[in-house]
Amino acid sequence: MKKNLVLILGWVLLILSGCGWSWNVVEYNDNFVAVVKECTDSTQDLFNVYQTEGSTIDAILESLNVSVDICEESKTKASKLGDYDKDSSLKDAVVGLLSTEIEYLKTFWSTSRYRNIADITAEDKVAYDWVVWELYQMEEVLNSKFVELQQVQESFAVKHGLKLE
């Protein structure tokens, strides 16, 4: 009895440590889809607040902080999901996308100080234009990360026999 208990505990520890654990490829993919969706949904919520006429800077900053927190948590979750059959391509693409999204959000934060300013100085206008230019550049990178993720996911699906919807 004691020997069986030790064997069972050893097996449970082995499973919990990830050794010998075999992910279902659909579940593995779905976990990554979920963490990306958490982040992108929170970013969409932020932009809805930003575009709402009459939104205060405080409301925008609160939504921005929530979005950054959610995206950072999503990135942590994705990093912890590990590899599928020694293939880290999907995880790496998701973590890269989420890192870029977080960087974009943090840069977006710097535009908030210019919101609802009636009389912007020439110096502030130059600074604001620079931040906006950076955001456009980052948006292009972010869009390319989404395309890259889609391509990686398609290759991953072919390699591991996953049928994508």
The answer to the question of residue 90 being in a domain is yes
pLDDT score, position 88? 95
Greatest CA separation found in the chain?
81
Residue 2 lies in a domain: no
Residue-level pLDDT at 78: 97
In a domain, 66, yes or no: yes
Residue 10: per-residue pLDDT: 36
In a domain, 16, yes or no: no
Q: What is the mean pLDDT of each run of 10 residues along the chain (165 residues)?
A: 37 37 80 96 94 88 96 97 93 97 92 71 86 94 96 94 83
Q: pLDDT value at position 21?
A: 42
Report whether 162 contacts 29 (CB < 8 A).
yes
Number of domains the chain is built from: 1
Could you tell me if residue 5 is inside a domain? no
Residue 7, in any domain of the structure? no
Residue 13 lies in a domain: no
Residue 129 lies in a domain: yes
Residue 9: its pLDDT value, please? 36
pTM attached to this predicted model: 0.80
Dist. CA 8–CA 77, nearest whole Å: 28
Its domain, for residue 64, covers 24-160
pLDDT for the residue numbered 105: 95
Mind listing the pLDDT tens digit for each residue in 9-55?
Answer: 333 333 333 343 446 999 999 999 999 999 999 999 999 998 998 88
